[in-house]
């Protein structure tokens, strides 16, 4: 064996360290894995079981609200079916159409006001005129009317400001010009946004929650970069040091056992891979990247922001009219009394004037709170079922067939009003700061203030993690192969060291020469 074999073997150890350092640098492991850790740390609150479940409950409520609004928004919606509803009431009760209209107006005033107010764009068109009317009768400038509404009737003001934005943007949400589904179809309308959020924002979170959560456990993933860097540096230094020490031969002191460090290091690397569950964690991490890649496209992040801002408009426009406590239900009578007192006429006269000049707005206000409209709709269906000698479910099935937009409106409105304060499926839902998020406005705030900003913050980190080579699935096998290779090489180095030591010992202490036979000289020829 050459006396250079052992130092060359140690040079191989140093070379392994150099290769590791090259991989750390060329694969940009520090920016990539630290970006991954930042993404995991920032979005980890969104992937708790309670929040993922709450996301689905929240988006189902958005869906019901969207179905409600869509039936109210267009001329061919529930507004077009009102005459058919009157016909149905007349047929099932044996009344004339005129009597059926009177019945609907007197016995079910809230749902009658709600249905006869449609469409919502017509209500929006009347609101500026109503504000102008208030300025005229109260002898106020537009600025004074604005201040009065903001101060004394904040919920009415909220509706006046937001309802026109809602109706204007329903079929073309501002800021969604580049937003598309994963298959490339545009997302511009509120119904399209609802479907997109349900199937392509919330659904990937549901699918990937079990892959996301392990990434933040057992030290996360960022440690891999400094671990490999430190491993590479130590191996280079140690290999170079031992190469220099063994250049003239294997030392007879403790350094002759230095080779043991090499297989130990390899074994530790393999043990870390197994102890930290890197195989399932990083395989799951890559599956998460593959599944959520479209979610983090920059145009979709911008579209998500535009979408949640429009949902904010939606909640602000209709929310004050949903429940009986507070809101428009209390402020509208107070505003009528203020006008009546200022003008010096009975409140009913002012109400009649509002009905005359602003019929759609007045009728919608007759339908508030919307929970009262829901109660009236439920009673109307039960009344028609009894008059027809059928069950309530059978009557609902008839409405679904003959009046699909009206059926959509009253069934989805019931979901909205029943769940507005406590959305089903959100029992454990909280904001990232731990505060409860069960009502529709609070869920809106959760998505608007926690989830979407998290996506915005982490979009750049996601790109860093996802676009650099290699895939995350490479790291666990790479580390395992590296550990095994180092361990095997260390054992080989140990064998080489022992052989070289034996050679050195033989050269230092050669075996005795054969003794000459008696009577013969060693110099005889």
Tell me if 491 is assigned to some domain. yes
Tell me if 268 is assigned to some domain. yes
SS3 173: coil
Tokens of 392: 């309530």
Residue 15: pLDDT over 70: yes
What per-residue confidence (pLDDT) applies to 525? 41
What per-residue confidence (pLDDT) applies to 332? 96
- Segment 209-237, tens digit of pLDDT: 999 999 888 788 888 899 889 989 999 99
Tell me if 511 is assigned to some domain. no
Distance CA 313, CA 159 (A): 9
- Segment 52-101, tens digit of pLDDT: 999 999 999 999 999 999 999 999 999 999 999 999 999 999 999 999 99
Can you tell me which residue has the tokens 């203020």?
Answer: 338
What per-residue confidence (pLDDT) applies to 177? 96
Q: Average pLDDT in the 119-128 region?
A: 97
Tell me if 477 is assigned to some domain. yes
Residue 108: pLDDT over 50: yes
Give percent of the chain above pLDDT 90.
78
pTM of the model: 0.88
Residue 519: pLDDT over 70: no
Among 8-22, 165-179, 374-388, where is mean pLDDT lowest?
Answer: 8-22
Task: Give the long-range contacts of residues 419-427, CB within 8 A, separation 24 or more.
Answer: 419/61, 419/64, 420/319, 420/322, 420/323, 421/323, 423/57, 423/58, 423/61, 424/57, 424/60, 424/61, 425/53, 425/54, 425/56, 425/57, 425/58, 425/60, 426/53, 426/54, 426/57, 426/58, 427/50
Distance CA 162, CA 319 (A): 11
User: How is residue 180 annotated by DSSP?
Assistant: B
Mean pLDDT, rounded, of the chain: 92
Q: Which residue has the higher pLDDT, 507 or 459?
A: 459
What per-residue confidence (pLDDT) applies to 138? 95
Tell me if 137 is assigned to some domain. no
pLDDT band of residue 501 (cuts 50, 70, 90) is confident
Residue 254: pLDDT over 90: no
- Segment 272-323, tens digit of pLDDT: 999 989 999 999 999 999 999 999 999 999 999 999 999 999 999 999 999 9
Tell me if 132 is assigned to some domain. no
Give percent of the chain above pLDDT 70.
95
* H helix count then E strand count, the chain: 24, 0
Residue 371, CA distances (Å) to 82, 329, 414, 418 in order = 20, 11, 7, 8
Q: Average pLDDT in the 351-367 region?
A: 95
What per-residue confidence (pLDDT) applies to 37? 93
What per-residue confidence (pLDDT) applies to 522? 44
Tell me if 271 is assigned to some domain. yes
Q: Average pLDDT in the 101-130 region?
A: 97
| Segments forming the whole domain that contains residue 24 | 5-29+221-287+470-505
Q: Average pLDDT in the 226-254 region?
A: 84
Residue 1: pLDDT over 70: no
Distance CA 502, CA 241 (A): 22
pLDDT band of residue 3 (cuts 50, 70, 90) is low
155 contacts 327 by C-beta, under 8 angstroms: yes
**Structural domain count of the chain:** 1
Tell me if 146 is assigned to some domain. no
């Amino acid at each position: 064996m050459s006396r250079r074999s052992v130092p060359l073997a140690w040079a191989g150890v140093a070379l392994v360290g150099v290769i590791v350092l090259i991989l750390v640098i060329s694969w940009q492991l520090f920016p990539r894995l630290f970006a991954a850790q930042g993404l995991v740390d920032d979005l980890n609150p969104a992937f708790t079981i309670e929040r993922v479940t709450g996301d689905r409950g929240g988006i189902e409520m958005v869906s019901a609200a969207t179905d409600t609004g869509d039936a109210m928004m267009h001329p061919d919606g529930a507004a077009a079916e009102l005459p058919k509803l009157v016909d149905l009431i007349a047929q099932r009760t044996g009344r004339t159409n005129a009597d059926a209209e009177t019945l609907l107006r007197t016995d079910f005033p809230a749902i009658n006001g709600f249905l006869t107010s449609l469409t919502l764009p017509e209500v929006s068109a009347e609101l500026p005129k109503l504000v102008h009317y208030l300025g005229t009768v109260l002898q106020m400038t537009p600025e004074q009317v604005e201040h009065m509404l903001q101060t004394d009737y904040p919920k009415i003001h909220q509706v006046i400001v937001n309802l026109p934005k809602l109706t204007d943007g329903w079929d073309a949400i501002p800021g969604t010009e580049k937003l598309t589904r994963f298959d490339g179809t545009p997302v511009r309308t509120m119904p399209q946004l609802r479907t997109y959020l349900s199937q392509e924002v919330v659904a990937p979170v549901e699918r990937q929650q079990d892959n996301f959560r392990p990434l933040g456990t057992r030290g996360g993933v960022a440690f891999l970069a400094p671990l490999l860097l430190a491993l590479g540096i130590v191996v280079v230094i140690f290999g170079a040091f031992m190469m220099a020490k063994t250049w003239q031969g294997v030392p007879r002191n403790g350094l002759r056992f230095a080779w043991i460090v090499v297989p130990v290091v390899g074994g530790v690397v393999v043990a870390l891979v197994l102890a930290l569950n890197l195989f399932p964690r990083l395989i799951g991490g890559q599956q998460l990247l593959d599944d959520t890649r479209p979610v983090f496209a920059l145009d979709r992040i911008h579209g998500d922001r535009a979408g949640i801002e429009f949902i904010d408009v939606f909640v602000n426009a209709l929310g004050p009219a949903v429940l009986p406590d507070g809101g428009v239900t209390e402020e509208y009578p107070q505003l009528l009394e203020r006008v009546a007192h200022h003008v010096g006429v009975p409140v009913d006269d002012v109400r009649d004037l509002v009905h005359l000049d602003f019929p759609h707005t007045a009728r919608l206000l007759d339908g508030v709170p919307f929970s009262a409209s829901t109660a009236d709709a439920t009673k109307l269906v039960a009344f028609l079922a009894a008059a027809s000698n059928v069950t309530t479910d059978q009557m609902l099935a008839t409405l679904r067939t003959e009046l699909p937009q009206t059926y959509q409106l009253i069934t989805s409105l019931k979901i909205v009003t029943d769940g507005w304060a406590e959305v089903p499926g959100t029992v454990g839902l909280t904001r990232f700061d731990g505060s409860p998020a069960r009502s529709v406005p609070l869920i809106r705030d959760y998505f608007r203030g926690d989830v979407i900003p998290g996506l915005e913050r982490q979009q750049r980190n996601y790109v860093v993690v996802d676009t650099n080579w290699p895939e995350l699935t490479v790291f666990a096998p790479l580390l395992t192969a590296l550990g095994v290779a180092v361990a095997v090489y260390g054992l080989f180095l140990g064998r080489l060291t022992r052989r070289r030591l034996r050679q050195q010992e033989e050269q230092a202490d050669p075996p005795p020469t054969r003794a000459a036979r008696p009577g013969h000289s060693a110099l005889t020829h």
